[in-house]
């Protein structure tokens, strides 16, 4: 199927799985359009090259058949039979890859400075409308699934319900609800001691959280304390992780502290955000345990200065960004080299302008600068986060059965990650939400 697949592998795939194309079509060498009636909502994308993010192989001049919200078949034009009345989208010269996944997003993000201060009296109604706008812009930027890792007052669950119900436009959402922290910590929902923390975790899960986000160290945007400080007691951290796991919910920690990392790893934490000051010791343990890392490399990169200037970040904040940059980069390079499980996340709006592109695309480029191949960086924004979210059967690659969450670009990003800068078409669940066409 995929151009670089060996014949034996192809046959194995066809025998073991529901095939990428119906097996009968192999016997139809040149049939392109059949006379069978198209089921309601059948769309076909023709003329593009399709990138298999699992191995980087390519189907040139592919046919991508979409029925309803899912991919029905994908293969060479000579091998996929297409109903004559399917809606046809010509994408000659384009490259199709899965919609991107961004694992560290806050649609309600507010940071220190005038832009954040202007939102000080924002009501919950205003907040959720602002979040809906950020969700829409994220989807247009090619991000079809996000993990929200800290929103306020249930705004995230209201937005998710609206998007799922079709009354708001945005990516698929998994959310952690509010960030749980001990008093003075890097989070909205403060709780101290094991009883309060257990209740805070249970409350988020009751509200709809499919992740728990806990702050186990200081953060860049805190005006006090060290980022590397480990703020929770062992018992407190143990309670958060244990209660979440008893409910079948994974835990991710905002963490820049090596000490907190050692403790959390021993307690079975599932994922770390940022990991600014983590050393090779913790990264080796993460690699051995399969613990996830969401690096958010853009937040300390030079390219983010454009964003910080725009929101009027105060000098103390910029100083904290700069002081963190060197360790953050060193950590990322080591994590890539050691083969830690990395899933892309930005901690900025997925569409935020950054170094001439969006924060999401820039994040993938920074992974390549830190040692990943372009294909690995593409996987960090597609396959890997799908696995992190336990959504590998639905999103993250362009296989039959998956949601038709598709973006188009002008070149192959598995060869040059900067090709993601040219996103000009976005489809989510079989619906075209963006299709840039040259003016007549």
What are the residues binding Zn ion (CB under 5 A)? 347
Nearest distance, CB of residue 269 and Zn ion, angstroms? 16
Residue closer to Zn ion, measured from CB, 67 or 347: 347
Residue closer to Zn ion, measured from CB, 178 or 347: 347
Nearest distance, CB of residue 101 and Zn ion, angstroms? 16
Residue closer to Zn ion, measured from CB, 347 or 405: 347
Task: Determine how many CB atoms are found less than 10 A away from the CB of residue 60.
Answer: 12
Nearest distance, CB of residue 28 and Zn ion, angstroms? 51
Nearest distance, CB of residue 309 and Zn ion, angstroms? 20
Nearest distance, CB of residue 106 and Zn ion, angstroms? 6
Residue closer to Zn ion, measured from CB, 273 or 327: 273
Nearest distance, CB of residue 274 and Zn ion, angstroms? 8
Can you say whether residue 153 is alpha, beta or left, with left for phi > 0 and alpha for psi between -120 and 50 degrees?
left
Q: What burial letters (b/e) apply to 308-331, b meaning 16+ CB within 10 Å? A: beebebeeebeebbeebbebbbbb
Instruction: Round to whole Å and give the CA distance between 235 and 374.
Output: 42
Instruction: Round to whole Å and give the CA distance between 228 and 320.
Output: 12
Residue closer to Zn ion, measured from CB, 236 or 347: 347
Of 438, 439, 432, 436, nearest to 88 by C-alpha is 432
First to last CA, the chain: 36
DSSP per position, 81-148 = -EETTSEEEE-TT-EEEEPEEEEEE-TT---SSHHHHTTTT--HHHHHHHHHHHHHHHHHTTEEEEEE
Residue closer to Zn ion, measured from CB, 263 or 347: 347
Structure tokens at 175: 């959310």
Please list the helix, strand and coil fractions of the chain in percent, rounded to the nearest 5, in that order.
35, 20, 40
Of 82, 89, 4, 97, nearest to 50 by C-alpha is 97
Nearest distance, CB of residue 150 and Zn ion, angstroms? 6
Residue closer to Zn ion, measured from CB, 63 or 109: 109
Cβ-closest position to Zn ion = 347
**Please, are residues 281 and 303 in contact by the beta-carbon 8 Å criterion?**
no
């Amino acid at each position: 199927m995929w151009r670089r697949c060996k014949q034996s592998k192809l046959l194995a795939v066809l025998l073991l799985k529901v095939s990428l194309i119906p097996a009968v079509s192999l016997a139809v060498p040149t049939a392109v359009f059949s006379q069978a009636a198209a089921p309601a909502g059948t769309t076909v994308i023709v003329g593009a090259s399709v990138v298999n993010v699992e191995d980087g192989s390519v189907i040139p001049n592919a046919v991508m058949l979409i029925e309803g919200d899912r991919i029905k078949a994908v293969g060479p034009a000579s091998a996929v039979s297409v109903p004559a009345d399917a809606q046809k989208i010509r994408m000659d010269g384009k490259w199709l890859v899965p919609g991107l996944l961004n694992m560290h997003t806050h649609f309600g993000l507010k940071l220190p400075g005038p832009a954040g201060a202007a939102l000080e009296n924002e009501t919950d109604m205003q907040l959720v409308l602002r979040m809906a706008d950020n969700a829409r812009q994220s989807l247009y930027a090619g991000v079809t699934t996000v993990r929200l890792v800290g929103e306020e007052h249930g705004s995230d669950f209201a937005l998710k319900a609206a998007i799922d119900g079709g009354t708001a436009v945005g990516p698929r959402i998994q959310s952690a609800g509010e960030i749980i922290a001990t008093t003075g910590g890097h989070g909205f929902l403060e709780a101290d001691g094991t009883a309060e923390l257990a209740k805070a975790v249970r409350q988020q899960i009751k509200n709809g959280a499919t992740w728990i986000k806990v702050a186990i160290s200081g953060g860049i945007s805190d005006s006090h304390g060290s980022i590397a400080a480990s703020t929770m007691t062992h018992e407190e951290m143990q309670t958060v992780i244990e209660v979440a796991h008893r409910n079948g919910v994974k835990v991710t920690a905002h963490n820049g502290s090596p000490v907190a990392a050692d403790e959390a790893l021993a307690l079975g934490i599932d994922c770390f955000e940022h990991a600014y000051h983590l050393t090779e010791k913790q990264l080796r343990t993460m690699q051995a345990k399969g613990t996830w890392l969401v690096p958010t490399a853009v937040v300390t990169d030079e390219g983010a200065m454009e964003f910080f200037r725009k929101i009027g970040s105060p000098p103390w904040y910029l100083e904290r960004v700069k002081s963190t940059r060197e360790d953050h980069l060193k950590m990322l390079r080591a994590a890539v080299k050691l083969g830690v499980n990395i899933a892309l996340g930005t901690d900025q709006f997925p569409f935020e302008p950054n170094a001439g592109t969006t924060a999401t695309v820039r994040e993938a480029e920074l992974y390549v600068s830190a040692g990943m191949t372009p294909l690995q960086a593409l996987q960090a924004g597609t396959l890997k986060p799908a696995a992190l979210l336990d959504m590998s059967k639905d999103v993250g690659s362009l296989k039959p059965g998956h949601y038709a969450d598709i973006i188009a670009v002008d070149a192959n990003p598995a060869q040059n990650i900067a090709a993601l800068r040219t996103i000009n078409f976005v489809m989510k669940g079989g619906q075209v939400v963006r299709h840039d066409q040259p003016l007549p």
